[in-house]
């Protein structure tokens, strides 16, 4: 989806039937972001609103903040708008990918630089998307091969399987799924689609069971896990969005503002780690003995490496098991000389 295409704010409705879910690492996120949210009118930017669990907590806990919430999934936005209806006067919800941060802030009447106090990016597929069989994210349920987070635009996973060349398929599976049998799987996809195009997840799962050697299937989890991840990342351009969104998010923070990013796979976490490392490093040339004015680090890292969920949190919410959390605080702005 082109983030410059039409965006729309989502009308807020009330409902008593909004589903509840367990937000991942909620209390840890509050510990990190809370200190930045005590000032009157502080802006909390939720780049992956989902069902609004994190947002509801922050709106209740910090009654003086306002929320700008983004999500590419129109169904999730509608449910979140119902859940957050009690706070309608303090929220702006925008239909966009998280690399549409600048446009979302514009819709909220805010500049895209140094206007936000706290940011949360809870990446990956949401609980709602996994639970809705017809979306095709889950390899354990036979469903149409869709996998679009925004069902109003873009190619589906079936389109990828049925139109990509062998080389393109192998690249997607290897790069985004870290699948060591990528070439073999891609060849079998091309062979089978000539007879019957792919339309359902059961077809793909059957192919993977037939193609991946039995010895490899006995380790590393479900044999479809890596392929389904790769297709989802490709269909939704997840890494491209993240690579564009992170610099925009960091630039949007005020000095003293904080960001938390939760990743669920190593590819995402590497992008976050690299961007945080770059922005927290000195820009003074290494051969100079003193720090040049305005060339010091812009951010300081708030987590030691990537934090993971505790065993208790995983028992309460199994989907927290793969999470990797990183956080940073802005300590300098562009206004420096």
Which of 236, 260, 285 is a domain's end point? 236
Contacts of residue 113, Cβ cutoff 8 Å, sequence gap at least 6: 251, 252, 334
Residue 169 lies in a domain: yes
Predicted confidence at residue 1, as pLDDT, reads: 33
> Which pLDDT score, from 0 to 100, does residue 5 have?
28
Report the alpha-carbon distance of residue 192 to residue 198 in Å, rounded.
8
Same domain, 272 and 124: yes
Do 200 and 165 belong together in one domain? yes
Predicted pLDDT of residue 10: 41
Q: Supply the pLDDT for residue 128.
A: 58
Q: What is the mean pLDDT of the chain?
A: 87
Prediction pTM value:
0.85
Query: What is the pLDDT at residue 2?
Result: 32
> Among the three residues 205, 236, 267, which one is the final residue of a domain in this structure?
236
Residue 335 lies in a domain: no
In a domain, 31, yes or no: yes
Q: Give, for 9, the enclosing helix (H) or strand (E).
A: none
181 shares its domain with 323: no
Q: 69 a known binding residue?
A: no
Q: Could you tell me which residues come within 8 angstroms of residue 214 by beta carbon, excluding any fewer than 6 positions away?
A: none
CB 233 within 8 A of CB 239: yes
pLDDT at 131: 56
Domain co-membership, 144 together with 227: yes
For residues 148 and 229, state if they share a domain: yes
Q: Are residues 80 and 112 in the same domain?
A: yes
Contact 299, 331 (CB under 8 A): yes
5 labelled as ligand-binding? no
Cβ atoms of 64 and 88 closer than 8 Å: no
- Based on the structure, what is the number of domains in the chain? 2
Domain with residue 223: its CATH number is 1.10.150.170
Other Cβ atoms closer than 10 A to 276: 22
Query: Could you read off the pLDDT of 89-148 as tens digits, one per residue?
Result: 999 999 999 899 999 999 999 999 999 999 999 997 765 555 565 666 778 888 999 999
**Can you give the CATH number for the domain in which 242 is found?**
3.40.50.150
Residue 117 and residue 242 in one domain: yes
Q: Distance from CA of residue 146 to its chain's centroid?
A: 18
pLDDT at residue 17, rounded to an integer: 43
- Please write the tens of the pLDDT for every residue from 308-317: 999 999 998 8
Q: Is 6 contained in some domain?
A: no
73 is in an annotated binding site: no
C-alpha span between 145 and 232 (Å, rounded): 10
Last residue within a domain, chosen from 197, 220, 236: 236
pLDDT at 152: 83
pLDDT score, position 127: 59
Q: Is 164 annotated as a binding residue?
A: no
In a domain, residue 2? The reply is no
Are 121 and 155 members of one domain?
no
Residues 282 and 225 in one domain: no
Q: How many CA atoms lie within 13 A of 52 on its CB side?
A: 28
Model pLDDT, residue 317 = 85
Residue 71, marked binder: yes
Phi, then psi, of 263 in degrees rounded to 5: -110, 155
Within this chain, do residues 207 and 161 fall inside the same structural domain, yes or no?
yes
What pLDDT score does 137 carry? Answer: 74
Q: Do 143 and 222 lie in a common domain?
A: yes
Same domain, 124 and 180: no
Domain of 266 in residue numbering reads as 26-128+238-330
In this prediction, the residues of the chain whose per-residue pLDDT falls under 70 are: 1-21, 126-136, 289, 333-337
129 among the known binding-site residues?
Answer: yes
Q: Is 222 annotated as a binding residue?
A: no
């Amino acid at each position: 989806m082109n983030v410059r295409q039409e965006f729309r704010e989502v009308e807020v409705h009330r409902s008593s039937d909004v589903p509840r879910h367990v937000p991942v690492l909620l209390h840890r996120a509050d510990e990190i972001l809370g200190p930045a949210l005590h000032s009157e009118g502080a802006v909390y930017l939720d780049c992956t609103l989902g069902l609004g669990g994190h947002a509801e907590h922050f709106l209740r806990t910090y009654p003086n903040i306002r929320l700008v919430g983004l999500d590419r999934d129109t169904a999730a936005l509608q449910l979140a708008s119902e859940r957050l209806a009690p706070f309608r006067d303090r929220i702006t919800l925008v239909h966009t990918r998280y690399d549409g941060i600048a446009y979302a802030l514009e819709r909220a009447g805010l500049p895209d630089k140094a206007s936000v106090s706290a940011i949360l990016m809870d990446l990956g597929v949401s609980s709602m998307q996994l639970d809705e069989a017809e979306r095709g994210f889950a390899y354990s349920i036979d469903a149409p091969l869709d996998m679009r987070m925004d069902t109003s635009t873009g190619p589906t996973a079936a389109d990828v399987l049925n139109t990509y060349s062998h080389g393109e398929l192998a690249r997607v599976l290897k790069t985004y799924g870290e699948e060591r049998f990528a070439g073999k799987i891609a060849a079998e996809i091309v062979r089978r689609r000539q007879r019957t195009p792919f339309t359902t997840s059961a077809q793909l799962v059957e192919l993977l069971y037939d193609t991946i050697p039995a010895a490899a299937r006995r380790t590393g989890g479900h044999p479809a896990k890596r392929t389904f991840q790769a297709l989802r990342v490709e269909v939704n351009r997840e890494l491209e969005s993240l690579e564009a969104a992170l610099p925009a998010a960091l630039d949007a923070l005020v000095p003293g503002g904080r960001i938390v990013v939760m990743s669920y796979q190593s590819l995402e976490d590497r992008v976050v780690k690299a961007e945080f490392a770059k922005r927290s490093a000195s820009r003074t040339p290494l051969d100079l003995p003193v720090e040049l004015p305005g060339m010091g680090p812009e951010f300081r890292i708030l987590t030691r490496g990537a934090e993971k969920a505790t065993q208790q949190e995983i028992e309460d919410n199994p989907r927290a098991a793969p999470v990797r959390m990183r956080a940073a605080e802005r300590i300098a702005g562009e206004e420096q000389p």
